[in-house]
C-alpha cells in the first residue's frame, strides 16, 4: 500500500531538539535574554522524558573558592586520562557555583544537612565531597523544576511526541570543503505519521547520548544518538566516539531493565564483592582507591571478574549501613529493590556494568558552535573535550547547565542575522510503501546490533573483533538504508537508522585508536601510547 507522509511548513527562530537538562537550560536562558524569540522545543516523548531525568547521583560543583575549584579541575583532568581540553574544563568547572544558583532560582531543591548547608556527597574519582543531590533522584528533581519553568513561557512551543528525522541544509555548492547552512529539520509527528518542515535561524542539538547501541544500558530507550547521526549526515565533524563510558553498577535482574545503582553508594562506603568467594576484588585492580576508582577502572574490573567466573554479575554490599541511613540517602533505590524482593540492608545487590555515557559526539566548543553554520550541539550530544577519554562522575549535569547558558548567549548573534533563504527547501516528498512483515524483519536488527556491539565493542576490545564488527555493522546499515528510502518512516526506523550510524562511528574510532585510554580498552594494545593524541575526527558526509 502506498502512502504519503507530507506535513506542513512551520517557521521559528530557534529549533531545540531534545528536552534534557541542556535543552531546557538553553530555552530558559534564551527566553531571559530575548523573551520574544519564537522557540520550538521538540521531544520524542513527553517533555520530562530524557536521560537527565534518570540521573541519580547528582551534579558536581565545587564551592566558589580557588582551592576547591582547582581540586575539581584536577580530578576532571585525571579522570579524562590525558585527553581533556583544559580550556573547556576550566570554563565549565569555574561556572559551577553559578550553575547551582541558577538551578535553585528555577526551583530545584537540593538536600541540606542539619546546619542548612548543602549535603554534599562523594563519588568515584572525586577527592572531595562536591556532589549536590536530591536524595537519589536528582535528575528527576532538576527536570521537574526546569519543565515547570519552560511551560510558563509563552514564546516556547512544546512539540511532544515528535521525532527529528534529518537536518535541513542549504543547497550543496561545487566548492571544495563547502559546508552548508543548517536551516531547520524534518520532524515526524509520531501520532499522525506526518513529517513537517520546521524552519529556523538556529538549530540546537540537545538529544543526549546513545546507550541503546549496547545491550545493557542505564539510558532510556530514547537514547539513540539522534543528534550525532543527523549532524554527521549533514556534514558536521564528530570526535572521541571510541570513549563510551560504562557505569560499573547497573542492577542485574530479569525483569527490571536499565535501573542504575548510583555511584553514591560506593561514595558512602559500599563494597564490591565476588559472588564466588565474597572477596573485595578491587584490591587486585586499584588497591589505593578500591571501589572509588574512576568508572573505567571499576567497570573493567567487574567485567574481568564476570568473564573469569561462572556468575553473570558481582555483588554490591552496603549491608553495614543502617536501614535508616539507606532509606534516607537512597529512597528510590531502596524502595525499588524492596519491590523486587531485595532488601539492601540485609542482602547484597547483584550488579553488572552497562553503557552509561558517550564522552564523544558532535565536535563543538563550550558555547556549542559546531563546524556547520547555525548549528549548535550541547550536553552529551557535543564533544568539547571536557570529559576527555573518561567522564568524571556527576560532571554531565554541570556541563548541560553551563553549555545551555553559554550557547544561549552565543546564538544571539545568529538570531540577529537576516533570515536564511528557505525558498529551495521542499516539503517532505517520499511516497512510501507500508509493509508490515518487512518492517518487523527490519526491526529485528535492533537485537543483533546491540548484542554485537556489547560483545565486540564493549568494555574490552580487540582489532580482530572490531574489524569483524565493522563489516557486520556496515551490512546492517546498507539493509536499513535501502529500506528507509522505500518505506514509511516511523520512530523505530529513525532510531534504528541513527543508532547503526553511531555504531559505525564508534567502531571506526575504536579501530583507529591503537592504545588503551579512559573508556577505550584494547586488549591487544593494553598500554597508553607514549604521547596522548587527539581522537580521530570523522568528517560528516553531507
Question: Which pLDDT score, from 0 to 100, does residue 536 have?
Answer: 63
Q: Which of 375, 270, 279 is nearest to 326 (CA)?
A: 270
Query: CATH 3.50.50.60 region(s) of the chain?
Result: 2-243+359-416
pLDDT tens-digit readout, 144-180: 999 999 999 999 999 999 999 999 998 765 455 667 8
Taking residue 427's Cβ as centre, other Cβ atoms within 10 Å add up to 12
User: Of 15-19, 111-115, 173-177, 257-261, where does mean pLDDT reach its minimum?
Assistant: 173-177
- pLDDT value, residue 90: 96
Q: What is the pLDDT of residue 542?
A: 44
Contacts of residue 338, defined as CB under 8 A and 6 or more positions apart, other chains included, come to: none
Helix axes 436-443, 463-484, angle to 10 degrees: 160
Report the C-alpha gap between 83 and 456 in whole angstroms.
24
Domain with CATH 3.90.700.10 in the chain: 246-354
What b/e sequence results for 137-164 when a residue is b if at least 16 CB atoms lie within 10 Å of its CB, and e otherwise? Answer: bbbbbbbbbbbebbeebebbebbbbbbb
State how far the Cα of 459 lies from the Cα of 182, in Å rounded to an integer: 36
**Averaged pLDDT, 495-507:** 97
* 243-265: average pLDDT: 88
The residue-averaged pLDDT of 311-338 equals 92
Query: 53-62, 181-190, 513-522: which range is least confident on average?
Result: 53-62
The predicted model scores a pTM of 0.91
Catalytic residues: 295
pLDDT single digits (tens) 405-438: 999 999 999 999 887 778 778 888 776 777 777 7
Burial of 535 (0-12, 13-18, 19+ CB in 10 A): buried
Assess contact for 321 and 264: CB atoms under 8 A: no
Query: What is 2-243+359-416's CATH topology?
Result: FAD/NAD(P)-binding domain (3.50.50)
Q: What is the pLDDT of residues 358-409, one digit of tens each?
A: 999 999 999 999 999 999 999 999 999 999 999 998 999 999 999 999 999 9
Contact by Cβ (8 Å): 121, 58: yes
Residue 232 has pLDDT above 70, yes or no: yes
Evaluate whether the domain defined by 246-354 bears CATH number 3.90.700.10.
yes
Q: What is the mean pLDDT of residues 320-332?
A: 92
314 has a pLDDT exceeding 90: yes
Q: Are 202 and 412 in contact (CB under 8 A)?
A: no
Radius of gyration of the chain (CA): 23
The chain-wide mean pLDDT, for the chain, equals 91
Please choose, from the candidates 65, 288, 64, 84, the residue with its C-alpha nearest in 3D space to the C-alpha of residue 74.
84
pLDDT grade for 524, boundaries at 50, 70 and 90: very high
Which one has a higher pLDDT value, 427 or 350?
Answer: 350
Amino acid at each position: 500500500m502506498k502512502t504519503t507522509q507530507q506535513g506542513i511548513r512551520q517557521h521559528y527562530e530557534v529549533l531545540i531538539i531534545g528536552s534534557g537538562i541542556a535543552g531546557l537550560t538553553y530555552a530558559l536562558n534564551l527566553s531571559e535574554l530575548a523573551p520574544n524569540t519564537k522557540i520550538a522545543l521538540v521531544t520524542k516523548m513527553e517533555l520530562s522524558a530524557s536521560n537527565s531525568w534518570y540521573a541519580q547521583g547528582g551534579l558536581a560543583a565545587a564551592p566558589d573558592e580557588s582551592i576547591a575549584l582547582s581540586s575539581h579541575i584536577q580530578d576532571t583532568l585525571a579522570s579524562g586520562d590525558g585527553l581533556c581540553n583544559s580550556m573547556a574544563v576550566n570554563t565549565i568547572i569555574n561556572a559551577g557555583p553559578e550553575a547551582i544558583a541558577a538551578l535553585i532560582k528555577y526551583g530545584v531543591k537540593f538536600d541540606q544537612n542539619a546546619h542548612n548547608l548543602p549535603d554534599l556527597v562523594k563519588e568515584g574519582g572525586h577527592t572531595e565531597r562536591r556532589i549536590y543531590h536530591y536524595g537519589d533522584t536528582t535528575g528527576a528533581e532538576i527536570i521537574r523544576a526546569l519543565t515547570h519553568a519552560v511551560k510558563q513561557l509563552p514564546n516556547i512551543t512544546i512539540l511532544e511526541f515528535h521525532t527529528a528525522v534529518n537536518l535541513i541544509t542549504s543547497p550543496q555548492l561545487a566548492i571544495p570543503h563547502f559546508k552548508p547552512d543548517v536551516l531547520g529539520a524534518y520532524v515526524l509527528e509520531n501520532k499522525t505519521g506526518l513529517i513537517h518542515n520546521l524552519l529556523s535561524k538556529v538549530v540546537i542539538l540537545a538529544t543526549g547520548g546513545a546507550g541503546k547501541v549496547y545491550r545493557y544500558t542505564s539510558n532510556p530507550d530514547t537514547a539513540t544518538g539522534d543528534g550525532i547521526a543527523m549532524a554527521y549526515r549533514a556534514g558536521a565533524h564528530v570526535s572521541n566516539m571510541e570513549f563510551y563510558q560504562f557505569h560499573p553498577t547497573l542492577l542485574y535482574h530479569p525483569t527490571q531493565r536499565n535501573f542504575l545503582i548510583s555511584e553514591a553508594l560506593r561514595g558512602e562506603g559500599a563494597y564490591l564483592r565476588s559472588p564466588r568467594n565474597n572477596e573485595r576484588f578491587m584490591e587486585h585492580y586499584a588497591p589505593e582507591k578500591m571501589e572509588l576508582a574512576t568508572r573505567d577502572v571499576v567497570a573493567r574490573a567487574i567485567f574481568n571478574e564476570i568473564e573469569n567466573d561462572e556468575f553473570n554479575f558481582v555483588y554490591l554490599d552496603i549491608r553495614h549501613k543502617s536501614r535508616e541511613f539507606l532509606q534516607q540517602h537512597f529512597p528510590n533505590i531502596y524502595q525499588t529493590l524492596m519491590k523486587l524482593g531485595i532488601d539492601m540492608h540485609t542482602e547484597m545487590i547483584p550488579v553488572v556494568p552497562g553503557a552509561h555515557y558517550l564522552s564523544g559526539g558532535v565536535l563543538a566548543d563550550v558555547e556549542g558552535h559546531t563546524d556547520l553554520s547555525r548549528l549548535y550541539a550541547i550536553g552529551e550530544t557535543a564533544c568539547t573535550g571536557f570529559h576527555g577519554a573518561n567522564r568524571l562522575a556527576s560532571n554531565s549535569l554541570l556541563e548541560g547547565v553551563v553549555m545551555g547558558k553559554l550557547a544561549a548567549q552565543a546564538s544571539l548573534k545568529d538570531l540577529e542575522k537576516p533570515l536564511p533563504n528557505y525558498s529551495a527547501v521542499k516539503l517532505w516528498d517520499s511516497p512510501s510503501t507500508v509493509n508490515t512483515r518487512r518492517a518487523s524483519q527490519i526491526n529485528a536488527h535492533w537485537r543483533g546490533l546491540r548484542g554485537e556491539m556489547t560483545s565486540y565493542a564493549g568494555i574490552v576490545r580487540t582489532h580482530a573483533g572490531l574489524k569483524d564488527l565493522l563489516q557486520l555493522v556496515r551490512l546492517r546499515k546498507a539493509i536499513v538504508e535501502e529500506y528507509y528510502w522505500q518505506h514509511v518512516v516511523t520512530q523505530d526506523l529513525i532510531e534504528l537508522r541513527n543508532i547503526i550510524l553511531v555504531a559505525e562511528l564508534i567502531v571506526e574510532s575504536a579501530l583507529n585508536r591503537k592504545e588503551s585510554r579512559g573508556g577505550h580498552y584494547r586488549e591487544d594494545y593494553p598500554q597508553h601510547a607514549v604521547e596522548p593524541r587527539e581522537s580521530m575526527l570523522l568528517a560528516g558526509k553531507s
